[in-house]
Amino acid sequence: MELFVSKIESPLGEMLLVTDNQGMVRVLDFTNHIARLRLELSERFGDIELREAGDTEAVKVISGKLDRYFKGNLTALDDIAIAADGSDFQRMIWAALRKIPAGKTTTYGELARALGHTDPRMAKDVGAAIGANPIAIIVPCHRVIGRDGMLKGYAWGLQRKHRLLIHEKADVSRSGTMALFSL
């Protein structure tokens, strides 16, 4: 498989965008997590060839949408095509994450229940699937918080998670669930 990598500037730090031949996003990570990116690509794709993307149309469109998102158009990322490789369960969770509106949050348990899981232990499985999300920001795992309202794990750092929620004007100041959504 041939994948293409591009560097994109963002207010949260330089990002690495990995796309495929069809211009679909496979990975979006931060350059300070390059070791994680390499491991991610190796685990998901095995032996791959990663090439510089250059200024392709897909890169222009995606970076333009990221720029609009960071400038305040919080729905600019909603229609970006992704092709994240993972288990069926992981892909189901990642699809559900994309349905959480900007500025809203949910908990791991609420997400599990919204997907029809009644066993409270499923929140941990949901959290594990979220933690395996290879696509920062576009697949908005930053919108999932702990049931006590605390920001819990974020592969790209809790400071970034907090900044993204502030950017989206989510209420991060109170405990408890900040807001609910429906799938």
- Active-site residue numbers? 141
Query: H/E element holding 61?
Result: helix 57-70
Taking the CA atoms of the chain, what radius of gyration do you get in angstroms? 16
> What's the CA gap between 139 and 27, in Å, rounded?
10
Q: Are strands 106-107 and 144-145 parallel, antiparallel or unpaired?
A: parallel
- Alpha carbon 73 to chain centroid distance? 17
Exposure of 54 by Cβ count < 10 A (0-12 exposed, 13-18 middle, 19+ buried)?
A: exposed
Three-state secondary structure call for residue 82: strand
Strand residue runs (E) in the chain? 2-8, 15-19, 25-30, 49-52, 106-107, 144-145
Helix 122-131 and helix 88-97, axial crossing angle in degrees, nearest 10: 80
